[in-house]
């Protein structure tokens, strides 16, 4: 069921959802919501469905009134008006259609009957002969058309006032596919890699897909899954091919809101919950160990916004980590990493609200309060010219001393080519066993550059000369000599800062494209192109990470919450000289 606002119409997010439904061949019906709100427009929302999504919307009911005057809906199959009592129970009185709506209702009904006839060849023949269909035949045609994707039935109402919801549920039952309609499920045999098939039948071997995990600090973990084939009973051992383990199913529950009802058996098509599975996570397959099958896991979405996370109270770090692990079991789109470079815990999600809700859950479920901050930008350092540098490490303090002499050439490489160590020692001036120590010394100190302590990258070090002492030379001495030679060489090689550049796709309505492009130019962004997508445009751009750390709320404000973006790391580029001083000054202030 696709939910569309009668106020805002099709948003960028709606387009994304529609693409996924097309990709997975999901039959769908649409529900136009918020008809009791200001500026709601039913026909404009239907027009938006057609233009933006490229579907053929077929209204099966229509509203009576709008905004403050919204009273109910007209059922275009029964051709009756339902006037609601606004008692939150969905109570209504069925009446004749008011005269002022009769003409529009007949127009929309004719459109619906024609669409239903096109959904089935027999119905089309009958309709061409008689120009009419019974209500049962209309339902049949609507179902066929929905399952084949020829059109999209559209219902309307107000969810908060419970208007039109009951009829929506009726249409879900009538028009959307049952497990039998969905047909054969295809997976792979985890042992052989061969294709496996399962029919939606209780007699087939058991198989299921986990689609949700609920973590509760008291009740433990609740795993919800849909059974694709076979039958499941309590006290059964099933296989998890994703984790290559077995799980014991103790009790089986049906969910009703927050309530759980124990059942003695579940079969193909059922959605059930089980408690306290040890290894199983969202996206995993459960199956009969004797007849294993592995279904493809849904692709995890890439996070679009990240925040640095800190405990509000000292000593809560362990609680935060444990709580976040449980939340990630519930929601795979949340990601938590510890940035080794900045020493920050980074929480990433699908948007600012998503991350804030996760933090609220952390407080409510696990009693831990956290503070969200902007993450530090992972700058890098590099060099701009080649230099030769020699360094002699000599230390004598009684007993065996330390001696190592190295000469290196430091030169820049192309962006993203990384670090390369070249050994050009000839004549044994440095013994073979000490050369890796020079490399190791350089790799240890390149993690903290001379400008601001950021890792140094994209350079080549050539070890071309040196000297050793038959008694005092050692691996440690050459490691120190290599690191000191590198430090001096970097300072002499015109070091500069690099910043991460992100690649973004920003989906916005046509009327916002100019604002978004102008805003990106002000953020040092480079627009790569603009592609049309229905009534929206997709702006492709590369932009420095430092400029878009708070982009989600700013895009929401710019587009009245109609914009959507994805962002991923692209490459590193040199920081403009006028900004380098500011970044270095800010770093010193933090230190």
- Mean pLDDT for 402-417 is 92
- Mean pLDDT for 568-586 is 87
The CA distances from residue 444 to 222, 437, 438, 456, 488, in Å, are: 46, 11, 10, 11, 15
Provide the CB-side half-sphere exposure for 448 (13 A, CA): 8
Q: Which CATH number fits domain 199-287: 2.60.40.10, 2.40.30.10, 2.60.120.10, 2.40.50.100?
A: 2.40.30.10
Q: What is the pLDDT of residue 497?
A: 93
Q: What is the mean pLDDT of the chain?
A: 88
Cα(591)–Cα(585) distance, rounded to whole angstroms?
Answer: 10
Terminal CA-CA length for the chain: 53
Going edge to edge, which strands form the sheet with 92-95?
Answer: 61-64, 72-75, 80-84, 92-95
The CATH superfamily of 305-373 is Elongation Factor G (Translational Gtpase), domain 3 (3.30.70.870)
Strand partners, 266: 232
* pLDDT tens by residue, 91-113: 889 899 999 999 999 999 999 99
Sorted by where each begins, the domain ranges of the chain are: 2-177, 199-287, 305-373, 381-493, 497-588
Q: Are 396 and 491 in contact (CB under 8 A)?
A: no
Q: What is the pLDDT of residue 399?
A: 64
- pLDDT at residue 246 is higher than 60: yes
Cα(384)–Cα(387) distance, rounded to whole angstroms?
Answer: 10
- pLDDT at residue 68 is higher than 70: yes
pTM for the structure as a whole:
0.65
Model confidence at 220, pLDDT cuts 50, 70, 90, reads: confident
Q: Copy the structure tokens of residue 576.
A: 């403009």
Task: Spell 558-584 as b/e; 16+ CB within 10 A means b.
Answer: bbeebbbbbbeeeebeebeeeebeebe
Cα(32)–Cα(163) distance, rounded to whole angstroms?
Answer: 11
- pLDDT at residue 218 is higher than 70: no
Task: Spell 352-376 as b/e; 16+ CB within 10 A means b.
Answer: bebbeebbebbeebbebebeeeebb
Provide the CB-side half-sphere exposure for 155 (13 A, CA): 24
Cα(278)–Cα(213) distance, rounded to whole angstroms?
Answer: 12
Among 206-210, 260-264, 309-313, 407-411, which is the least confidently predicted range? 309-313
Q: What is the pLDDT of residue 476?
A: 92
Fold of 2-177: Rossmann fold (3.40.50)
Cα(466)–Cα(459) distance, rounded to whole angstroms?
Answer: 21
Confirm whether 305-373 and 497-588 share one CATH topology: yes
Strand partners, 565: 506
- pLDDT at residue 589 is higher than 80: no
Q: Where are the beta strands (DSSP E) in 437-563?
A: 459-467, 495-509, 526-533, 536-544
Which one of 235-249, 320-334, 524-538 scores highest in mean pLDDT?
235-249
Q: How many residues does the chain have?
A: 591
**Between 257 and 296, where is the model more confident?**
296
Q: DSSP 3-state helix, strand, coil percentages of the chain (rounded to 5)?
A: 30, 35, 35
Cα(207)–Cα(518) distance, rounded to whole angstroms?
Answer: 52
Q: Domain spanning 381-493 has what CATH number?
A: 3.30.230.10
Q: Which residues contact 182 (CB under 8 A, 6 or more apart)?
A: 200
Q: Which CATH number fits domain 497-588: 3.30.70.240, 1.10.287.370, 1.10.260.40, 2.70.98.50?
A: 3.30.70.240
Cα(481)–Cα(140) distance, rounded to whole angstroms?
Answer: 83
Of 325, 242, 237, 332, whose CA–CA distance to 282 is shortest?
A: 332
**In which residue are the tokens 């050994």 written?**
423
Of 471, 413, 404, whose CA–CA distance to 441 is shortest?
A: 404
* pLDDT tens by residue, 279-326: 888 889 999 999 999 998 876 677 777 888 888 877 777 778 888 888
């Amino acid at each position: 069921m696709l939910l569309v606002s009668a106020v805002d119409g099709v948003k960028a997010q709606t387009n994304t959802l529609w693409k996924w439904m097309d990709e997975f061949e999901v039959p769908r019906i649409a529900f136009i919501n918020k008809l009791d709100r200001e500026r709601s427009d039913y026909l404009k929302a239907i027009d938006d469905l057609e233009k933006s999504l490229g579907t053929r919307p077929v209204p099966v009911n229509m509203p009576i009134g709008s905004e403050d005057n919204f009273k109910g809906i007209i059922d275009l199959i029964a051709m009756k008006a339902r006037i609601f009592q606004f008692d939150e129970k969905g109570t209504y009185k069925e009446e004749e259609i008011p005269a002022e709506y009769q003409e529009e209702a007949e127009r929309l009904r004719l459109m619906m009957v024609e669409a239903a006839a096109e959904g089935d060849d027999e119905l089309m023949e009958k309709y061409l002969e008689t120009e009419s269909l019974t209500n049962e035949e209309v339902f049949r045609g609507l179902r066929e058309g929905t399952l084949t994707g020829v059109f999209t039935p559209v219902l309307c109402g107000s969810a908060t006032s419970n208007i039109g919801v009951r009829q929506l549920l009726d249409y879900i039952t009538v028009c959307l596919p049952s497990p039998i309609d969905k047909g054969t499920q295809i997976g792979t045999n985890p042992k052989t890699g061969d294709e496996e098939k399962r029919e939606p039948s209780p007699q087939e071997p058991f198989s299921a897909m986990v689609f949700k995990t609920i973590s509760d600090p008291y009740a433990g973990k609740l795993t919800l899954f849909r059974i694709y084939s076979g039958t499941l009973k309590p006290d059964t051992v099933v296989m998890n091919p994703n984790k290559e383990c077995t799980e014991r199913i103790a009790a089986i529950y049906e969910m009703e809101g927050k309530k759980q009802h124990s059942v003695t058996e579940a079969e193909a098509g059922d959605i059930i919950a089980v408690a306290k599975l040890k290894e199983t996570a969202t996206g995993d397959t459960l199956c009969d160990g004797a007849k294993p099958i592995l279904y493809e896991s849904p692709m995890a979405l890439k996070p679009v916004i990240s925040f640095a996370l800190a405990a509000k109270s000292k000593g809560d770090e362990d609680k935060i980590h444990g709580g976040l692990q449980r939340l990630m079991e519930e929601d795979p789109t949340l990601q938590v990493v510890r940035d080794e470079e900045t020493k920050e815990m980074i929480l990433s999600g699908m948007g600012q609200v998503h991350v804030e809700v996760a933090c609220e859950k952390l407080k409510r479920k696990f009693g831990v309060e956290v503070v969200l901050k902007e993450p530090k930008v992972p700058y890098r350092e590099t060099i701009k010219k080649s230099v030769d540098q020699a360094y002699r490490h000599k230390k004598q303090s009684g007993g065996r001393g330390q001696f190592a002499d190295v000469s290196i050439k430091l030169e820049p490489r192309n962006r993203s080519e990384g670090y390369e160590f070249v050994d050009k020692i000839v004549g044994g001036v440095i013994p073979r066993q000490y050369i890796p120590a020079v490399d190791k010394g350089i790799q240890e100190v390149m993690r903290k550059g001379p400008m601001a302590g950021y890792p140094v990258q994209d350079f080549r070090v050539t070890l071309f000369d040196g000297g050793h002492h038959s008694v005092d030379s050692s691996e440690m001495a050459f490691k120190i000599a290599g690191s000191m030679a590198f430090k001096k060489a970097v300072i002499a090689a015109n070091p500069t800062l690099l910043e991460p550049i992100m690649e973004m796709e920003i989906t916005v309505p046509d009327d916002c494209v100019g604002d978004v492009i102008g805003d990106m130019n002000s953020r040092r962004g480079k627009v790569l192109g603009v592609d049309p997508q229905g009534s929206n445009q997709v702006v492709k751009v590369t932009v420095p990470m430092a400029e878009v750390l708070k982009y989600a709320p700013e895009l929401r404000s710019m587009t009245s919450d109609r914009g959507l973006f994805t962002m991923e790391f692209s490459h590193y580029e040199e920081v403009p000289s006028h900004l380098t001083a500011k970044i270095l000054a800010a770093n010193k202030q933090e230190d």
